[in-house]
Amino acid sequence: MDCPKGHGRLEAVSVGSIHINRCPQCAGSWYDRGELRLLKDKEARGDYCWIDSDLWKDTDRFRADKQERYVCPSDGRPMITVRYGESPVLVDICSDCHGMWLDRDEYDRIVAYLQDIVNTQTVDDYLKDVRDEFIEILTGPEGPVSEAKDLARVLHLLQLRLVIERPRLGAFLNSLPRF
């Protein structure tokens, strides 16, 4: 595969257990379908796994931006520049193979965006997420086991948020016996 910015061949690299392709000159990275989600789910000990930011899940919410006019390194088709979820980060996606090109530092900016979501959620926000995760156990695209893990992570983050926002309730919960 070649760099969509015209810098030559991409090199295969491993990020943990995920294999991606990176340009040695511009440091951009190509993620085949699903690879970015897998990396996101492993960040921060799994704290982000419950945040469903699959760009292909709801294509009506794509927010196109100034087009970079890159071609997909996988199939040579034109890519579309869109915002990653509700973040300010621009990524280039292939509408055919669903791969994604990230320029240098865009992965770090996505992780910072996800961290901001975790840090700014309130107890009420987490309670809504708990409800949503219960529903996704039955209907979610990832399957019941994966969705149950997402629920467990949201419950853990809810507990942490309770300790911060409602210290007495958090202390009470922490005093309960563990099973």
Selection from 22-31, 118-127, 146-155, 165-174 with the highest mean pLDDT: 22-31
DSSP H/E element including 108: helix 106-120
* pLDDT band, residue 174 (cuts 50/70/90): confident
Parse the chain into domains and list their residue ranges: 33-119, 121-174
Selection from 60-64, 101-105, 113-117, 146-150 with the highest mean pLDDT: 101-105
Question: How much is the average pLDDT of 85-98?
Answer: 86
The answer to whether the CB of 74 falls within 8 A of the CB of 94 is: yes
97-135: per-residue pLDDT in tens?
989 999 999 988 888 888 888 788 888 887 888 788 778
Rounded to 5°, angle at Cα 126 from 122 and 128: 115
Per-residue pLDDT at 73: 93
Torsion on CA atoms 16, 22, 26, 30, rounded to nearest 10: -100
Per-residue pLDDT at 160: 75
The answer to whether the CB of 48 falls within 8 A of the CB of 40 is: yes
The answer to whether the CB of 71 falls within 8 A of the CB of 30 is: no
Query: Under 8 Å CB-to-CB from 90, ≥6 apart: which residues?
Result: 65, 81, 82, 83, 84, 106
